[in-house]
Structure formats: structure tokens, C-alpha cells
Amino acid sequence: MKPRKIASALLISGFSLMALSAQAFAEVTISFLHKWPEPQNLAYFEQAVKAFEASHPNIKVKMEAVADEPYKDKIRVLMASDQVPDVYFSWSGEFGKKFARGGRALDITDAVYGSDWTAVFSEASMGPFKYKDKLYGVPINVDSKYMLYNKKIFADNGIAEPKTFAEFVAACQKLKDAGVTPIAFGNQYPWAAAHYIGDLFGKLVPNATRLADYELSSPADTIYTDPGYVEGLTKFKELNDSGYFNRGSNALSHEIARGSFSAGRTAMMYLELVEFGQLKGTKLEQDGWDFFALPGFPDGKGDQGLLTGAPDGFMVSAKSGHPKEALEFLKFLTSPEQGADYVKMTGMTSAVIGSVTKDTADAATLKGLDVLNKASGLALWIDTDMDARSTEVLLAGSQAILNGTETPEQVMAKVRETALAVKKDRGE
Amino acid sequence: MMAIQHRMVPYLFVLPAIILLLVFVYGPAVENVIYSLYAWSSMSPDWRFVGFGNYGELFANPIFWTALLNNIVYAVVSVLFQVAFALGLAAVLQAGVFGPRLRSFFRTTLFLPSILPVTVVGLLWQLIHQPTIGLIDQLLYTTGLESLSHVWLGEERTALIAVVMVSQWQWTGYMMALFMVAIAAIPRDLYEALELEGASKLQTFRHLTVPGVRESTLIFTVITIFGAFKVFDIVWVMTAGGPNHASEVLGTHMYRSAFRDDVVGYASAVATVIFFLTISVGYVQLKLQRDHG
């Protein structure tokens, strides 16, 4: 080539290289994946991203939102194809530990505990995101499960809030005798049954045993053998067989069941604190509603003060190209102002201490958070706390129990068998 | 030199298509078989070679056999409706029993379900099947037939057949339209000849129409069986394979293993089994076609 041509080629490539690197220094893009595409919740995240980009002109956030059930698929596809987003949602407990074990989540112990960031969250909301004493995620909200009831129906039938499980069963029977459907229950996706079962396990199985079993650290000859498990499943079966749940729970979605509860057609429903906002403007609101934690057993071997619930949160990809910016974004999302906005706009209870107040939340949410803070501990959602395969067996088993095609003993035997197989696979 | 170049030209024309097939179809199929020899999860980057371990697990897993049986049920019912019944419908419409406008109307309305997206069909029929408030139950209750009511998608005995029938609702009209084209290809004078000899419509159907569309029937049967073994989306949307695996099919079993149980190697093994099953069906079809033709 002629020297002139070579010179101009070099000059052009030189300039473009400078331009590209200038851009690289100027702008960083982080990817952000969460599981709240509902308009009301999405609006919060959109404004949070806008506010963050405004205060950090060199960082752009590419946000994506997928609903609850499809999220479980999407995150696995992204993991398998090594396209982990910089910041991604994770349930706490075993679900989050999976990412830590697989080297997919960044160890942020020092980033959080080594700064004032640690004052933002309670230890209880951070605990479920720890693996081998290291922190891998930050909580965005805290959630718990309560038995909500229609005040008018309870008053009409002379029923008071039950203090023990036996009183709860008696109340259900009284409602059934009066021709009212006691409990709305939609188990088309069987996590709904799992919440009942997890709560019962927490109250009937000694806590240390239960946690060791879920973690698969129990010895092979005792794992999942505690009689409390079968007892818990039996109690759940009895609720169904006594006719306290609506008809066809295995084919009814949770949302449709909630619809019948909020239309005032059923007396009670087991709902999450973050769902309280969905009841605004419904007939149930007119009738008046309140809630109680699912009561325990005076002779139960577990912890009767346990509340079923968990924090939800975010993790940073261990292979993120921009961990500093990702952590900046998370810190921004969990700042006091953002925490307050989160509560005001989504109605969910932010994990940021001091964000749920009279100014940001209604009385029911405040009471819900109060009960949560007073609980002796949280029994995490069992389908995110047990290993994935044993969970699938338990979930399918719950549907079988509702149909009467399998007994509690059979289901627990299958869970034990699966847990032993997973233990073997993990080489434990 | 020129002669060789000329002979190369046809191959060059098909080369792009072959490359696409290799990259997007055959390549991944081979890769999938390789994946099935390892135990791995999407969560962790560790891969452990297990040889045929996944296949051993697969054949020992009762859920796999339930799923396979369900696929066979799916195939049998689909052939009954989408081949036998569709052929009957097509013959009725082609026989001139209805006037041209009514014929067109029936063809269109019966064909319409096949153009709906599968998720829409799944959600729609889920609502229709809802306990108590769904259309089916409402119909049964108002006509005094409550005793016939079931929790269609929630009971282990009815879940699979409910989903299978929705598939038939969606695809029978489509197959009927295909059969109508095949029947229209039979020469008209053969029909007139039979009519002159005094043959009834049923006899004409048995002795002229059915043999006349034999080739099409074979292909449509094979396609229907393929579809029945590969089915996933309609089952996943309506029941996710539940309750308690009652409506599990190979497709949903594979999906659940990969995206819920995190045993992707095992899921690849299921995929390989589906692949070999459909290849066998295709092979049988080729043989039958060769024997006939």
C-alpha cells in the first residue's frame, strides 16, 4: 500500500480507538433484573433508576423485570449461558445459597459490614443472605405470612382471633357449620401449600433439626425422620379433609382465590404482608379485615414464636465487570429516601430500617411489620429453603395429599429419599 | 475444470441452508447428547462426567414412565381426533352436504382455534375449567348435573384428559382443512362414477375417499404423533404437569428437571430420549411410504 494510504489508515484507527476508549471511560452500563413487572411496582423501580442515573451521570442502568414464576426460569437460563446480570433479584435462604455455592454471587461482606451501609438493615434481614458466614446479598424487603380474616364474617358468627391451632380449627368448623367457606386457598402453583406446611414444620419440628435437615447437613440415618414432619403434613391434610378450604384448590390460582377473599365470599386467607396493598378498594376493605399469625401448639416441639416469612433481596454477579457501580446502585436503592419511596409506591415493607412509618404506610402494614419484628424468628419460605429437588417432591406431594392419593408418611419418605440422593450428589 | 465447477453449483446453492441446519438443528442435537453424559446445573460451572448415569436414573424414575405413558395417551387420542375425526369432517364438508357459504363458514370457524397462541388457549381453557366459577361447572350446575362435576385440572384422574381435549379443540380444524385439500385432489369423475352406480355417501367415503387420501393420512398421522411426543407448552400453561405429576409429559418433565430441579444433564438425557422416539416414528413412516409408493 502507498505510504499515504497507510498513514491515513493509521490516523483513522487511532482516532476511533481514542473515541471508543473515551466513551468507555465516560459511561458504564450495568444490567439490573428484578421480579416486579406489575405496573404499581415497576413505577417505583423506574423512578429509582431515573433518580440514580441523574445523580450518577456516568452510570446507565439497563433494567428488566419478569414476573415471579417466569423469573425462576429466566435466572437459570442466564446463569447457564453465563449472562448473569450485574444486579439481580434473589430469594433468600437456599435459593440465594445456590448462587453463592456456584460462585455466581459476589461476596459483599466487607462492602456492607465495613461501611455505614450495615446500619441500614437489621441482622435478622441479612442473616438469610449469608453463606458460610459471608454476606452475598442485601435485602430489599421483608415479608411475612399472616392469616387474614374478614371482620364482618367473624363478628356475624361470634368468632374471636384464635390463640392456638386447636382454637383455629374450631373457628373453621364453626364457619363451615354456618355455611361460610372458612379459608380461600389456591394451590395451582403449590408454593401456596408449601407456606402452610413450612409454618407447621417450624412449629412441630425442633428448630436445629429442621434447619440441619433443610441444609442437608444432618447425618444420613436421621435426615427428615423427625415425627414432627409427618405431624405437620397430617395437620395440613386435616384442614383439607375437614372441608375448610374452598373446593378445587389444586386447580385454583392463588390470585383467583384472593379474588374470592377480597370479594367477601370467604372468611380467611393466608396472605403475605406484601399483598396487603392488593386489598385496597375491595369489598373486604369495606367489611373490615385484620390478621393473626398462624397459631401454634402448646406441646409442639418446634418454635411456636416462629413466623413464616423471609427477606427478598438483590445480589451482585461475581463476574460483574462493574462491581463498584453495581454496589453503588444497590446502596442507592436501599437509602432511607428510596426506602420510604419504596413503601409509599409499592405498599411493600422495605428492609431499610425506619422506612415504614405512619407517613409511608397504612396501619395494617405497620402492625404487620411490628408483629414480624416481635417474632422469635423467621421460618423462611420452605420452597426457597429446602434444596430444589426435595422441594419439588414436597410440592408435588402436597397436591397428592390434597387429592388424597398419597399419605403424609409416603410424601415424607419420598422427601427423605430425594434428600439422601442430593446429599450423595453433593458429596456430603 | 469447467465441468467440475458446474457440478459444484447446486451444492453451493444448498450450502447456506445446510449451514443453518448444522448450526441450529444438528449441531445442538449432537451437543445435547454430549451434555446428557454429564451431571451439571445452570447454577454452578462444575461439570461431572457420569457416562450413562443420567439414562440409568431416567429409566429408574417412575415419573419418566408416567410421562411416557401420558405422551402415548396423547398420541392415541390425537390420532383419533386429528386424523380419523378430521378426515370425517373434511369428507362431510367436501361432499357438498352444505351449501358453499355454510361450508366456508364451517371451515373457517373450525380452523380458527389453530391460529390462537398456545398461551392464550391455555389460559382461556383454564378459566373454562375453573372449579365452580368456570363455564363447564356453571353449565353443569344450572342443568342440575352437579354430580358430573369434577375439579378437572386439579384431580389426578381428569387433569391429563382435560389438557389432551383442549389440544384436540385447537388442532382438529387445522387438520380438517389439510384433509379437505387432499380430498379435493381426488378426481371428480370418480365420484360421479360411483354416484351413477348408486353408491351411498358412506360407501363412497369408505371405498373412494379414504384410499384416495392414503398418502396424506400417513403423513398427517406421523406429524400428529410427533406433535404428541413433543408437546410442552399447552400442558405447562394449564397444569404445569400437575397435580402430582398426573399430567406430566416428557416435555414438562424435561423442562422441570432443567429449570426447577437444576439437573440439566438429566434433562438433556430426557431430550435425547424424545429425539430417538420421534426419529423412530419418522423411520417407520419412511418405510411405510416406500412400501406403498
Domain A144-308+380-426 has CATH 3.40.190.10: yes
Give residue A12's pLDDT. 72
Does B50 reside within a domain?
Answer: no
Give residue B261's pLDDT. 86
Query: Model pTM?
Result: 0.85
Chain A contact present for B156, CB below 8 A: yes
Of B242, B243, B259, the CB nearest to A72: B259
Residue A62 backbone dihedrals phi, psi, to 5 degrees: -100, 105
Element (H, E) at A31: strand A28-34
**β-strand pairing of A134-135 with B47-49:** unpaired
Give residue B259's pLDDT. 87
DSSP secondary structure letter of residue A272: E
Q: Please list, in sequence order, all residues whose beta carbon lies within 8 angstroms of the beta carbon of residue B135, skipping any fewer than 6 positions away.
A: B127, B128
| Range(s) of chain A covered by CATH 3.40.190.10 | 26-142+311-370, 144-308+380-426
What 3-state class would DSSP assign to A81?
Answer: coil
CATH number at residue B267: 1.10.3720.10
What gap in Å lies between CA B250 and CA A152, rounded to an integer?
49
Cross-chain residue pair A247–B155, CB shorter than 8 Å = no
Q: Please list, in sequence order, all residues whose beta carbon lies within 8 angstroms of the beta carbon of residue A396, skipping any fewer than 6 positions away.
A: A190, B242, B243, B244, B245
> Identity (one letter) of the amino acid at A288?
G
Q: Which residue of B has its CA nearest to A80?
A: B42
What gap in Å lies between CA A57 and CA A39, rounded to an integer?
26
Q: Which three cell numbers stand for residue A376?
A: 422469635
Listing DSSP states for chain B in one string gives -HHHHHHHHHHHHHHHHHHHHIIIIIHHHHHHHHHTTEEE-SS-S-EEE-TTHHHHHHHH-HHHHHHHHHHHHHHHHHHIIIIIIHHHHHHHHHTTSS-HHHHHHHHHHHHGGGGS-HHHHHHHHHHHT-TTTSHHHHHHHHTT-GGG---TTTSTTTHHHHHHHHHHHHHHHHHHHHHHHHHHTS-HHHHHHHHHTT--HHHHIIIIIHHHTHHHHHHHHHHHHHHHHH--HHHHHHTTT-STTTT--HHHHHHHHHHTS--HHHHHHHHHHHHHHHHHHHHHHHHHHHHH-
Give residue B203's pLDDT. 87
Number of domains in chain B: 1
What gap in Å lies between CA A225 and CA A213, rounded to an integer?
9
> Identity (one letter) of the amino acid at B21?
L
Residue ranges making up the domain that contains B105: 62-292
Of A79, A256, A396, the CB nearest to B42: A79
Q: Is the pLDDT of residue B68 over 90?
A: yes
Does B126 reside within a domain?
Answer: yes
Q: Which three cell numbers stand for residue A191?
A: 408454593
- Give the residues of chain A that fall short of pLDDT 70: 1-3, 14-26, 428
Stronger pLDDT, B192 or A182, i.e. the higher one:
A182
Does B276 reside within a domain?
Answer: yes
- Which residues, in sequence order, are bridge partners of residue A268? A149, A183
DSSP secondary structure letter of residue A106: -
Cross-chain residue pair A388–B152, CB shorter than 8 Å = no
Residue environment code for B114-134, b if the CB has 16+ CB neighbours within 10 A, otherwise e: beeebeebbeebbebbbbeeb
Question: pLDDT by residue (tens digit) across B87-124?
Answer: 999 999 988 788 889 989 999 999 999 999 998 999 99
> Identity (one letter) of the amino acid at A144?
S
The dotted CATH code for A26-142+311-370 is 3.40.190.10
Give residue A22's pLDDT. 54
What gap in Å lies between CA B47 and CA A409, rounded to an integer?
35
CA-only gyration radius of chain B, Å = 24
Give the residue among A230, A224, A198, A146 at the shortest CA–CA distance from A395.
A198
Cross-chain residue pair A399–B129, CB shorter than 8 Å = no
User: Rounded mean pLDDT of B162-180?
Assistant: 95
Does B22 reside within a domain?
Answer: no
What 3-state class would DSSP assign to A284?
Answer: helix
> Which residue of B35, B40, B42, B245 is the best one to mutate when testing the A interface, meaning the one whose CB has the most A CBs within 10 A?
B42
